[in-house]
Amino acid sequence: MPVSFEPRTRLAHLEEYVTKIHLKLPPDEAWVQLLRCRVVAYSLIAEISESAYSKRYVDQFFVQAYRNLSESCGQDLRDPFSDPCVSQYQILDELRSYGSRELSEPFLRFIRAEFKKAFVPTLRLLTDLCHSENKYSWEEMKLQLMEIMDQLHVDVTWKECEEKLEKYMKKIEGTIYMN
């Protein structure tokens, strides 16, 4: 199958991949990949810019992906976007736990590599989508993420994270926040 850069084709391939991710990866890696893939999916629907391809469209196939992953690993892995307020805390707790758990070096390298591409934009979106008074502000979230980056020895600066995040947020803002 030839590689396509056309957003609709990429989104279709991404949808197929995430709904079968539980067959391809261990649960921890699949969870991180699902975070990263959703960031990409939101970017693709922004490129497509048609009402049929909305945040709701993306969220529906991710709900199925999390359901499939939960069933295959025997754990309740809820879609973080189903409750952005609770998910802020859960993702931060998970990231903090990596510093004290015995994790393989390949998995830690994977986490470090995905930090600015998966965790930073996901937590920014969750922060924006949470409407509770008991949520972290983005400034509080940034401080926590910087501490975790230091703890995990992430080889990227916060400035690099913010530059990538700023471009991403400008791209998706008209698509994600409309729903």
Q: What pLDDT digit, counting tens, does each position of 122-179 carry?
A: 999 999 999 998 888 999 999 999 999 999 999 999 999 999 999 999 999 888 875 4
d(CA 87, CA 136): 11
- Closest C-alpha among 69, 65, 153 to residue 113: 153
Residue 2 lies in a domain: no
For residue 135, is it within any domain?
yes
Domains contained in the chain, number: 1
pLDDT of residue 176: 80
Is residue 61 assigned to a domain?
yes
- The 10 Å CB-count burial string (b at 16+, else e) for 53-78 is bbbebbbebbeebbbbbbeeeeeebe
165, burial (CB in 10 Å: exposed 0-12, middle 13-18, buried 19+): buried
Residue 1 lies in a domain: no
Residue 16 lies in a domain: yes
Q: pTM score, two decimals? A: 0.92
What domain range is 123 assigned to?
Answer: 7-176
